[in-house]
Amino acid sequence: MNNSRAATRYAKAILDLAKENKAIDAVEKDMRSVLATISDSKELRSMLASPVIKGEVKKKALMAIFKGSHKITDGSINLLVDNRRIGMLNEVALKYCILSEQLKGKDVAFVTTVIPLTSALEKKVLKQVAQITGNEVTLENVIDKSIIGGFVLRVGDLQYDASVANQLGNLKREFTNSQ
């Protein structure tokens, strides 16, 4: 199973549990914190992806970083560590936020850029995405220096990748395939 489908399943399960416990907003706040923290820390991303670092070490570090989170969030982190899926934490958090917003009748547009969007550019992006989706849209700006430049726009299952890193990857594939 690919990670995106698995992340969606985990996120749906977490959302169902949050619904039962009437904690959708509290868990969403935690998941947004997870997204922001992981996107801001290259070291944390490396630790989560590392097969060398033991799960217990990752669990202790994450529990310390996200101390004070809702018990559902803590349980989700424990579950991902126990199932050796902690590398998907960022994707699970992202999917949770999307599902939670959809439950409220809104869409979330995630715009990944190298630097934060200006308020004027943010308004333009929101207007365009609202026209495309036909729904009320909230915008989340994710900062990721690895895309080099440009942007990646993700709304639900749709993704538009206009990043420099993607364009360089495409050029590399073209050169490799032409030889």
pLDDT tens by residue, 87-115: 899 899 989 988 888 888 777 888 999 99
| pLDDT tens track for 58-90 | 999 999 999 988 999 999 999 999 999 988 998
pTM of the model: 0.67
- Residue 68, CA atoms < 13 Å, CB-side half-sphere: 3
Instruction: Spell out the domains of the chain, with CATH numbers in brackets.
Output: 1-104 (1.10.520.20), 106-179 (3.40.30)
Residue 147 has pLDDT above 60, yes or no: yes
Contact 163, 151 (CB under 8 A): yes
Contact assessment for residue 104 and residue 133, using Cβ atoms and an 8 Å cutoff: no
Distance of CA 136 to the CA centre of its chain: 20
Q: Name which of 96, 104, 114 is nearest 164 in CA terms.
A: 114
**Residue written as token pair 């969007």:** 117
Give me the half-sphere count of Cα atoms (radius 13 Å) on the Cβ side of residue 160: 11
